[in-house]
Chains A and B, each alone.
Chain A
Amino acid sequence: MQILNKSKIENALNQLSQKSELFVPMARGDESGFYPWNSYQVGSDRLMLDALNVLLPPKSVVFPQTERMYSFTGNGTTVEIKETFESSQPRIIFGLRACDAAAIACFDDVFLTMGFVDSFYQARRDNTTIVAHACYQPGTNCFCEAMGVDPSNPVNADVIIRDAGDAYIWESKTDKGEKLSATLGSLLENKEMAAPQLQPFKQQANYEGVAEKLKDMFEAPIWEELASTCQTCGICTYVCPSCYCFDIQVKSWGDEGYRFRCYDSCMYSEYTQMAGGHNPRSHEQERFRNRFLHKLHFFSERYGKPLCTGCGRCIVACPVGINIVQIINDIKEADTSVRA
Chain B
Amino acid sequence: MSEHKCNCENPLVPGIVEVIDIKDETPDVKSFFVRSIGGGLPFDVMPGQLGMVSLLPVGEGMYSVSWQEEQEYLHFAIKRVGLMTNELHRIEVGQQLGVRGPYGNGFPVEECKGKDMLFIAGGIGLAPLRSFIKYCFKHRQDYGNIQIIYGSRSYADLCFKDELFEKWPQEKDTEVYITIDNPEEGWNGHVGFVPAYLEEINPAAEGKIAVVCGPPVMIKFVLQSLEKMGYTDEQVISTLEMRMKCGIGKCGRCNVGSQYICLDGPVFTLAQLKRLPPEW
Contact = CB atoms under 8 A, between A and B. Distances in A.
Q: Is the interface of B mostly helix, strand, loop or mixed?
A: loop
Nearest to A286: B279
B203 interface: no
Contacts of B96: 77-79
Nearest to A119: B10
Nearest to B91: A77
B257 interface: yes
Nearest to B4: A115
Interface stretch (B153-161, B183-191, B226-234, B239-247): B239-247
A302 B248 contact: no
Interface in B230-279: 241-243, 245-246, 248-253, 255-258, 263, 277-279
> How big is chain B's contact interface, by range?
35 or more
B46 interface: no
B95 A272 contact: no
B216 A278 contact: yes
Interface string A247-290: 11010100001000100101000011111101011000010001
Given A79-B98, A274-B241, A266 B57 contact: no
Contacts of B58: 250
> How big is chain A's contact interface, by range?
35 or more
B253 A266 contact: yes
Nearest to B241: A274
A119 B11 contact: yes
B12 A118 contact: yes
Contacts of B277: 218, 293
Contacts of A120: 10, 12
B4 A69 contact: no
A69 B98 CA distance: 14
A61 B4 CA distance: 28
B97 interface: yes
B258 A246 contact: no
B198 interface: no
Interface string B11-25: 111101000000000
Nearest to A107: B250
Contact of A80 (B2, B16, B59): B16
B251 A247 contact: yes
Contacts of A198: none
Contacts of B249: 114-116
Contact of A74 (B2, B9, B56, B253): B56
B280 interface: yes
Nearest to B85: A275
A115 B257 CA distance: 18
B4 A81 contact: no
A117 B16 CA distance: 21
Contacts of A271: 243, 253
Interface in A95-121: 110-111, 114-120
A119 B257 CA distance: 26
Interface string A146-168: 00000000000000000000000
A266 B252 contact: yes
Nearest to A219: B278
A72 interface: yes
B252 A69 contact: no
A294 interface: yes
Interface in A46-97: 69-70, 72, 74, 77-81, 84, 86
B243 A69 contact: no
B201 interface: no
B255 A298 contact: yes
A245 interface: yes
Contact of A118 (B3, B11, B253, B258): B11
A45 interface: no
Interface in B105-154: none
Nearest to B16: A79
B243 A272 contact: yes
Contacts of B57: 72, 74, 250, 252, 257
Contacts of A114: 1, 249, 263
Given A77-B96, A271-B243, A280-B280, 7 more contacts: A74-B56, A74-B57, A118-B11, A252-B57, A272-B243, A293-B257, A299-B258
Interface of B: 1-4, 6, 9-14, 16, 56-60, 81-82, 85, 91-92, 94-98, 216, 241-243, 245-246, 248-253, 255-258, 263, 277-280
27 contacts: A70-B10, A72-B57, A78-B96, A79-B16, A84-B10, A84-B13, A115-B4, A116-B250, A118-B12, A119-B9, A120-B12, A218-B278, A246-B245, A246-B250, A248-B12, A250-B57, A250-B59, A264-B251, A271-B243, A274-B243, A275-B81, A275-B82, A275-B85, A280-B279, A280-B280, A290-B279, A301-B258
A-B pairs, 6 with minimum CB distance:
A252-B57, A245-B252, A298-B258, A116-B248, A275-B81, A119-B10
